Structure 1
Amino acid sequence: MLSRFTAQRLHNTLQHLLILAGMSLLLAVPAWLLAGSGGVLWAFGLVMLTLYLGGRIPARLVLARTGAGVLHRHQAPQLYRVMDLLYRRAGLTQQPWLFYVPSPDLNAFAVGDAEDGGIAITEGLLHGLSLRELAGVLAHEVSHLRHGDTRVMSMAATMTRLTIWGAFLVQLALIAMLPMAMAGEIRMPWLELMVVGLAPVASTLLQLALSRNREFTADLEATALTRDPQGLADALEALERRNGMWLTTLFGRRQLPSWLHYLQTHPPTDERVRRLLALASQQGPRPPSSRPSHPLVETRPERQGHRYWLGRPGNRRQ
């Protein structure tokens, strides 16, 4: 019998493939109506080109927008010990890199990929989470690096943009053909045109669903790296308490209306926590989270601007 972990991994993978298949079909319809099979080949050729080029965009271009600074080993030795362990368990051979963002927000994000990238963490995250919780968050971001999720989402965004442009061009062609259609000289492919009309919205919703799928998968892979689902669950609940305050102001409650979940890039936190706790129930009790006795970052890097990052030939040459 499959374990809960394996079953969830297979479910996430199947969902991922089905979403990409749906986006591919939506892209193929306007491309086929515009230029037949050649249009479909051109459209998917552009998608593959974007996937290839997207993996070669240096991480420093993203870091330049955040004003991040490089967090060296001597500045955060405890965090780098955690990163070394996570990289080793993930099978990543590159040297880990951490970047510091002087922001009070509780946030962390992966930049680049496993070959040329790292993980950026904010000042708010360092103050708001314990080391155990931070390990879960870092493992989540390592999973994004390991599976090249930035490239996957770049490809999905390109597919959605091409679908939108293709649908727009088909609508222009339809307007041009209306006189001939009204004269009975040509037959309008009404079913295909209806699909084209709905394709941009459907592709956007599928892109958001793909993003949520990758978040679920990263949660799952993080538990395999840390072997501590409870730590990531506690971190997510802490992030929800801090970042969910705007929901109370906007909707008068902490939970989003159910229909808005389909417009989010991340799954509902309670669903993510529920899945993690289901995995944690299979393990023995772990000690509760505690604050580290020493600061995790001994000296903060200076905030760096665009000129600093854009002038570097690579993230690793410091």
Structure 2
Amino acid sequence: MRSRLTAQRLHNTCQHLLILAGMSILLAMPAWLLAGPVGVLWVFGLVMLTLYLGGRIPARLVLARSGAGALHRHQAPQLYRVMELLYRRAGISQPPWLFYVPSADLNAFAVGDARDGGIAITEGLLHSLPLRQLAGVLAHEVSHLRHGDTRVMSMAATMTRLTVWGAMLVQLALIALLPMVMAGEIRMPWLELLAVGLAPLASSLLQLALSRNREFTADLEAAALTRDPKALAEALSLLERRNGIWLTTLFGRRQLPGWLRYLQTHPPTGERIQRLMALAERQGPRPPSGRPYRPREPLVEARPERRGHRYWLGRRR
């Protein structure tokens, strides 16, 4: 499993670099038309500045928007024991930090990075998954923290926004130069304008592809952290059954149309489950835990209060 994980990491890293290179080229096109090489240097300088500042945005600013509450150790001791094990295996030295989101949605998400961040879990997810499957979901989010995926996706989103703004500026410049074009004083660069017009769409598609690729990587990392890929596969199967109802309502079926997968931030759940189950088969059956069966105990013994902007913005940790 370790050799396969290493090969998959190398493959995904190459894909990440190619996608980011493609987004860089798309971003450079409108900047080149507007200001030549100087415009390209200015735009990439702005991207690097945004990346630097984005990596230092405290996690509490994200939590202020979700209405989350801090979930302390005495409120969820089982979850914190799982998180401590995952952090130790992931090589994260910071103590774990969990947040509780009072929402019926089945969701968990990472905020910040390994230095200043944590994982938020919704009420719906805590009610729906047993501890073993929840550990797989938490490991997936720990992988996002470990590799700074929020920072990478923030950079990709910034590049897409700048590409959109650059294309709009090119269109405004074209409108300003239209009298000179009609008078025949300058030539209209039709091919370049067509490429700039399509650049925002192409950049958005590459941004979505980068997100899907990093989700595949996080799945493999989670399987390595928990050493139980089947647990995450079972959790994804349950989430797909619960969250896939909208597909039946919208398309009359649960199977996604082929073209729609390119507009999603996550890969098709079936493909993710298939990869994880293949890892589970190569790993072999799990040894019995030897623990006696116990009725399911609540994972959160005391729900924290929903916190608003004022609480999180004034908080340091």
What is the TM-score when the length of structure 2 is the normalising length? 0.94
Q: Which residue is equivalent to 1:116?
A: 116
Local SS of the residue matching 1:282:
helix
Q: Distance in 1 between matches of 2:288 and 2:134?
A: 14
Residue 184 of structure 1 deviates from its aligned partner by 3.6
1:297 aligns with 2:300: yes
Q: Which residue is equivalent to 1:16?
A: 16
Q: Which residue is equivalent to 1:249?
A: 249
The answer to whether the 8 A contact 1:5-1:279 is kept is no
Residue 190 of structure 1 deviates from its aligned partner by 2.7
Q: 2:311 aligns with which of 308, 311, 317?
A: 308
Residue 266 of structure 1 deviates from its aligned partner by 0.8
Unaligned runs of 5+ in 1: none
Alpha-carbon deviations, 1:254-285, whole Å to 9, x = none? 12211111111111100111111121111111
Q: Distance in 2 between matches of 1:237 and 1:88?
A: 27
Local SS of the residue matching 1:254:
coil
Residue type at the aligned position of 2:175: I
The answer to whether the 8 A contact 1:110-1:142 is kept is yes
The answer to whether the 8 A contact 1:4-1:279 is kept is no
Q: Distance in 2 between matches of 1:288 and 1:103?
A: 34
| CA RMSD across the alignment | 1.8
Q: Distance in 1 between matches of 2:288 and 2:266?
A: 26
1:160 aligns with 2:160: yes
Q: Distance in 2 between matches of 1:264 and 1:307?
A: 33
1:126 aligns with 2:129: no
Residue type at the aligned position of 2:258: S
Residue 16 of structure 1 deviates from its aligned partner by 0.9
In the TM superposition, 1:165-184 aligns within 5 A as 165-184=165-184
What is the TM-score when the length of structure 1 is the normalising length? 0.94
Distance 1:194 1:277, change over 3 A: same
Residue type at the aligned position of 2:211: S
- Between the aligned residues of both structures, percent identity stands at 84
Local SS of the residue matching 1:49:
helix
Unaligned runs of 5+ in 2: none
Alpha-carbon deviations, 1:161-187, whole Å to 9, x = none? 110111111122222333333444333
Local SS of the residue matching 1:175:
helix
Q: Please, which moves more after superposition, 254-263 or 179-188?
A: 179-188
Residue 114 of structure 1 deviates from its aligned partner by 0.9
Distance 1:51 1:259, change over 3 A: same
Q: Which residue is equivalent to 2:200?
A: 200
Provide the aligned length of Structure 1 versus Structure 2.
313
Distance 1:44 1:269, change over 3 A: same
Residue 291 of structure 1 deviates from its aligned partner by 8.0
Distance 1:309 1:288, change over 3 A: farther
In the TM superposition, 1:5-84 aligns within 5 A as 5-84=5-84
Local SS of the residue matching 2:222:
helix
